[in-house]
Amino acid sequence: MYQVAAFREERIDVMHALIRMHPLATLVTSADGVLKANHLPLLIDPSPAPYGTLRGHVARANPLWRQAHADREVLAIFQGPQAYVTPSWYPSKRETGEVVPTWNYAVVHASGPLVVHDDRDWVRGLVSQLTAQQEAAQPQPWSINDAPAGYIERMLGAIVGIEIPLTCLEGKWKVSQNRREADRSGVMEGLAEQADPQAQAMSGLVAGKRPV
């Protein structure tokens, strides 16, 4: 990923927080010289240090897990809040006119070897954790124990677990850090007034808040 020093995010806990809030990854792999992308939610475990481990599952019919190689790394991309920034929000537009549009975003790239877990108990534990994380905000959280045991066993047999022990974690927070303070304030206010939740979340990032 192309980086500019002003936008580089190196705090592991901040990157992990974005992954937890936006767990749907674009998982990029290469097989026989062909790039492939799959979209799946992944859990982040902060151990082992420094980068942690990603865990998830894919359909048994998906060839991804059969193409795993210990010496071949994969890339998981997590997209956080993003929003268009109009130059009309910059006070400097009225002063000099020397402004252009841009796009703000927060993103994490995580890479490491793909490890396969074709093990029913491992997959059950992973599904339970993933479900608990996503159901936590529901008024009546669902768990796999709410479904008939035989049905769950059939569903577990149709998926395979994957794990990515991370060797690299790279973050980029392009949130108007390169603008002067007055322009940043204009961006925060302009985004906060938008109906789009992503724009409102980006307003918080421009203000220096944690990823939402």
Q: Which of 19, 52, 23 is nearest to 40 (CA)?
A: 23
Which pLDDT score is estimated for 212? Answer: 60
In a domain, 47, yes or no: yes
In a domain, 212, yes or no: no
Which pLDDT score is estimated for 211? Answer: 67
How many structural domains does the chain have?
1
Which pLDDT score is estimated for 28? Answer: 97
In a domain, 76, yes or no: yes
Domain residue limits at 65: 5-80+103-178
Q: Which of 159, 191, 163, 186 is nearest to 89 (CA)?
A: 186
Residues in the chain, pLDDT under 70: 210-212
In a domain, 154, yes or no: yes
Q: Report residue 82: phi and psi, to 5°.
A: -150, 150
- Specify the CATH number for the domain of residue 133: 2.30.110.10
The pTM (predicted TM-score) of the whole model is: 0.94
